[in-house]
Structure 1
Amino acid sequence: IQQMEAQWQSRKNLRKGEPEAKPLYTEADVEDTMKKFISIDYDKMYAVNDNIKVNFINSGHMLGSAYVELYVTENGVQTKYVFSGDVGNINQPILADPHVLTGCDYLFIESTYGDRYHENLQTYREKLLEIITSTLARKGNVIIPSFAVGRTQEILYEINYYKENKLLKEYNDVPVYVDSPLATQATEVFKRHYDIADKSTHDLLKSGDDPLVFEGLFYSTTVEESMAINNDATPKIIISASGMCDAGRIRHHLKYNLWKPNASVVFVGYQAPGNLGRMLLEGEKMVKLFGEQIAVKAQIHNIDAYSGHADLNGLLNVIATMQQKPKKIILIHGEEAAILNFANAIKERFKIPTFIPSYGDIADITLDKEVIDKWDIPPIPVREKPQEVTAKPEGRNKNVIAAIQQLITIALHLKKELSQSASDRIHDYVDIIKKILNEEINR
């Protein structure tokens, strides 16, 4: 993605007589780095040294993802730590469900969806089918921003299911484009590792149906192939990266389709605050792409059940199935509402002390009772009622307006130094700030 952005910026620079933009790294750099990689097996103990051993267990989040069990011996005493990484969702296409952990002394676990529950498999399968068929009936395109590894393959699995069972009816021949070089390569990796797939995938393969291969599926790798997709008026399904729409070819497809009322954009994964995907889900009516304002008239959908992250039930199940319950649980990787809700659920169900670290915190893990108390769930801060401002209204407005104008100047200066995707996002925020400025001036 960043190589493509550098090429795009270089063309823009050359038109202005400026030097070409260089990518941070190239494919050759990646290939050199990969020579230093080593592969390891699940469920096999590896000795780092005499006092540290490590075991990797399938976490079901994506192909090759793992819980890390770390065994550390100090002064003759062994302590077991588990780092969950991203905990996988259950009943996902292709991937096996997360394996059960036997237990540990201290658990570090993610909390992305610690405050919500996913829909069941049949519900979201029917929902995606309805979105696709209704969009094609309007002669529109279905745009699916998708992570290249994992989510793209799951969506292909679902579309293969629809086509094999003739569920798309008169649209069964709809062309499907995977427009992401990384997703194309990742799909080939999935095919090489079907041995660790779930039972339903193995059953399909035995019947002669490869879930990642079907009639009407096309992969585009070159820029020219990608551009040709939008030059064709035939209604189609386009799966492209990145999943949060913050970079990559998906931004081009959004530029060509967001303003069309007959199109649909379907989000199938987590959208972080501040990213274009989150802005669209929150109802933005106008966004900026490649320096151009684009009206949002397409239908915007969200199916979070396709997420690779476990919901609250899945996260709690990691703890519930442990034979040896942790002495403490450290909660990480989650927005405030999710992480606090998960912490309260743990405390209520398991009575296990939890700790929510902040960035840069250094924690001393010990069995001392006083330290455990200090590690308990921090209370949600209560904001005090702001004091009344005694300054004259005109003086306050003058200071606010000056501050906002300075903020706009800084933002526009930073914009020149950023990548195209980040630059577009700065533009979006500047527009919002300008609206605030106009409201303040007119007060």
Structure 2
Amino acid sequence: MATIAFHGAAQEVTGSCHLLSSPSLGQVLLDCGLHQGMRAKHQTSREQFEFNPHAIDAVILSHAHLDHSGRLPSLVHDGFEGKIYCTQATAQLLPVMLFDALSLYENDLERDNRKRRRKGKPEIPALYSKSDVLKVLSLLVPVAYKEPTAIGQEASLIFFDAGHILGSAIVEISFKEKGQQKTLVYSGDLGKKGTLLMNDPTVRNSADIVLMEGTYGDREHRDLGDTLAQFKEILATAFQRGGNVMIPAFAVGRTQELLLYLGKLQQAGELDNWQIFLDSPMAIEITKIYDQWLPTLDCEGVKSLCSGESTLLKNFLSTLHLTVTPEDSMAINTIKNGAIIIAGSGMCTGGRITHHFKHRIWDSKNTVVFVGYQANGTLGRLLVDGAKQVKLFGEDTAVKANVETLGGFSAHAGQRELIEWVSAFNNEPKVVLVHGEAGALDVLSHTLWQEKGIVSEIPMKGQCIAF
């Protein structure tokens, strides 16, 4: 009998990692992601895998976000040598993502080891290196959407567009077990319908087991039109206040949507005289990759970009400044007002946004705008929850800047869209809810039963389900 064990994103939002086992498949890992959060970043980086990496036959990657891909180098370091299946765009995004993560990891490790050396403690060895990242990239097998791919003698894989970020996929695995055909569908992260940049998530209708994310299983997002109106109002108020706007943004997905929305506001004459700074070398590299794939994305949202030489980084947004070097980034500190600063990391667990906070978050003229999910334990979550004081670079810092949240920009499906997606399965599969905090999954599970008569399970970390 096939089983699936849940080693991450079980009653939590980050660390996606699910192990599918079957005699005809062997052992196949669905995602291999990092836990994200202030403590989790360090704790998880030192954790051992709860399975033998050398025994894993293949990895199937739903998309490039680090909470789904970030532990691949550690997996390779610890003995994994199989193929890593992903979409073509994901294969392009991964080098940027993984090398950036390596740089941050090595910096954090060196900082920790300096403290340990001063205290006479032994150094912490690195869990992976550049060579491991390079090996991950050598194991990638890029696969086009809707292209059946054999992953065993009696098993096949198909990716479908999940509409979450560039290259994000719904994973469908079909295999035979004792002569019986079985199908697993894993949603990965499902995107919202009707966004300007991404296609709507693909609907599937038959499976034996469905693993579905429930990040926003307990609530809906604001209407996009209302969100754009709120965004415009926030920017106008911030401009009148004479301050600057800081937007912590995920380099993959959210940044590109933001640039599109800002460009549309500018073209409509509704952006005042803001200067926009994309202060993230990683986001700049990722946006270049998005520009290559624009013709495959939502035609309605990007047709103005596909019609000529204009792209998200070129000509579309005339006041956009790309800041690559640390010197360019520090120069933004001299701007007293009129700057919209888009910088990583999206949950404020590091990166250039924390430096901008250090220089500006204590000033009530400034505004922080959150446009994405903030996981428990992150600095972003503390700010969204109304913290009046936070610790930045070891120092307590007062929070006097205005903090705003724009839920309508989320790249995740809301509760209603999750219910609609899973309700399309017409053969009553086993439904398992993952990638959501316990409370959100409980609400989603209850609502599925109340409204649709769908029974769902919510596994704990380490639990194994047979099907």
- Give yes or no for TM over 0.5: yes
**Percent identity among equivalent residues?**
35
Residue 293 and residue 309 in structure 1: after superposition, are their counterparts in 2 closer, same or farther (change >3 A)? Answer: same
Specify the code of the residue in structure 1 equivalent to 2:303: D
Residue 12 and residue 137 in structure 1: after superposition, are their counterparts in 2 closer, same or farther (change >3 A)? Answer: farther
Per-residue deviation, 1:27: 6.2
The CA deviation string for residues 341-398 of structure 1, in whole angstroms up to 9 with x for no partner, is 1111211232232111111111222xxxxxxxxxxxxxxxxxxxxxxxxxxxxxxxxx
Q: What is the CA–CA distance in structure 1 between the aligned matches of 2:279 and 2:428, rounded to whole Å?
A: 44
Residue 8 and residue 228 in structure 1: after superposition, are their counterparts in 2 closer, same or farther (change >3 A)? Answer: farther
Per-residue deviation, 1:211: 4.1
Residue 37 and residue 257 in structure 1: after superposition, are their counterparts in 2 closer, same or farther (change >3 A)? Answer: same
Q: What is the CA–CA distance in structure 2 between the aligned matches of 1:181 and 1:123, rounded to whole Å?
A: 31
Greater fraction helix: 1
Q: Give 2:279's aligned residue.
A: 179
Q: Is 1:345 matched up with 2:451? A: no
Q: Of 415, 418, 431, which residue of structure 2 is paired with 1:329?
A: 431
Specify the code of the residue in structure 2 equivalent to 1:273: N
Q: 1:39 aligns to what SS in structure 2?
A: strand
Residue 260 and residue 119 in structure 1: after superposition, are their counterparts in 2 closer, same or farther (change >3 A)? Answer: same
Q: Of 76, 99, 111, which residue of structure 1 is paired with 2:214?
A: 111
Residue 139 and residue 78 in structure 1: after superposition, are their counterparts in 2 closer, same or farther (change >3 A)? Answer: same
Q: 1:92 aligns to what SS in structure 2?
A: coil
Q: Is 1:163 matched up with 2:266? A: yes
Q: Give 1:391's aligned residue.
A: none
Q: Give 2:311's aligned residue.
A: 210
Q: What is the CA–CA distance in structure 1 between the aligned matches of 2:131 and 2:223, rounded to whole Å?
A: 43
Larger Rg: 1
Q: Give 1:404's aligned residue.
A: none
Identify the range of structure 1 (205-214 vs 37-46) with the bigger mean alpha-carbon deviation: 205-214
Q: Is 1:264 matched up with 2:367? A: yes
Q: Of 232, 238, 258, which residue of structure 2 is paired with 1:135?
A: 238
Per-residue deviation, 1:235: 2.2
Identify the range of structure 1 (342-351 vs 49-58) with the bigger mean alpha-carbon deviation: 342-351
Q: What is the CA–CA distance in structure 2 between the aligned matches of 1:9 and 1:348, rounded to whole Å?
A: 48
Q: What is the CA–CA distance in structure 1 between the aligned matches of 2:377 and 2:153, rounded to whole Å?
A: 45
Residue 317 and residue 363 in structure 1: after superposition, are their counterparts in 2 closer, same or farther (change >3 A)? Answer: same
Q: How many residues align?
A: 361
Q: Give 1:71's aligned residue.
A: 174
**What do you get for the CA RMSD once the two structures are aligned?**
2.5
Q: What is the CA–CA distance in structure 2 between the aligned matches of 1:263 and 1:295, rounded to whole Å?
A: 13
TM-score between the two structures when normalised by the length of structure 1: 0.76
Q: What is the CA–CA distance in structure 2 between the aligned matches of 1:10 and 1:69, rounded to whole Å?
A: 41
Contact 2:288 2:313 in 1 (8 A): no
Q: Give 2:289's aligned residue.
A: 189
Q: What is the CA–CA distance in structure 2 between the aligned matches of 1:92 and 1:65, rounded to whole Å?
A: 15
Q: Of 375, 382, 391, which residue of structure 2 is paired with 1:279?
A: 382
Q: What is the CA–CA distance in structure 1 between the aligned matches of 2:126 and 2:340, rounded to whole Å?
A: 30
TM-score between the two structures when normalised by the length of structure 2: 0.72
Contact 2:109 2:126 in 1 (8 A): no
Specify the code of the residue in structure 1 equivalent to 2:278: V
Q: Give 2:465's aligned residue.
A: 363
Q: Give 1:302's aligned residue.
A: 405
Q: What is the CA–CA distance in structure 2 between the aligned matches of 1:55 and 1:279, rounded to whole Å?
A: 39
Contact 2:195 2:301 in 1 (8 A): no
Runs of 4+ displaced beyond 4 Å: 4-29
Contact 2:246 2:340 in 1 (8 A): yes
Q: What is the CA–CA distance in structure 2 between the aligned matches of 1:23 and 1:256, rounded to whole Å?
A: 32
Per-residue deviation, 1:253: 0.8
Q: What is the CA–CA distance in structure 1 between the aligned matches of 2:461 and 2:115, rounded to whole Å?
A: 43
Specify the code of the residue in structure 2 equivalent to 1:75: K
Q: Of 245, 250, 254, which residue of structure 2 is paired with 1:151?
A: 254
Contact 1:153 1:212 in 2 (8 A): no
Q: What is the CA–CA distance in structure 1 between the aligned matches of 2:464 and 2:323, rounded to whole Å?
A: 47
Q: What is the CA–CA distance in structure 2 between the aligned matches of 1:26 and 1:249, rounded to whole Å?
A: 23
Q: What is the CA–CA distance in structure 2 between the aligned matches of 1:316 and 1:181, rounded to whole Å?
A: 37
Q: What is the CA–CA distance in structure 2 between the aligned matches of 1:21 and 1:161, rounded to whole Å?
A: 49
Q: Give 1:102's aligned residue.
A: 205
Alignment of 1:56-67 (within 5 A): 56-67=159-170
Gaps of 5+ in 1: 366-443
Residue 26 and residue 306 in structure 1: after superposition, are their counterparts in 2 closer, same or farther (change >3 A)? Answer: farther
Greater fraction strand: 2
Per-residue deviation, 1:205: 2.4
Q: What is the CA–CA distance in structure 2 between the aligned matches of 1:266 and 1:183, rounded to whole Å?
A: 18
Q: Is 1:253 matched up with 2:352? A: no
Gaps of 5+ in 2: 1-99
Residue 12 and residue 81 in structure 1: after superposition, are their counterparts in 2 closer, same or farther (change >3 A)? Answer: closer
The CA deviation string for residues 122-158 of structure 1, in whole angstroms up to 9 with x for no partner, is 1001111111121122121110001110000001111
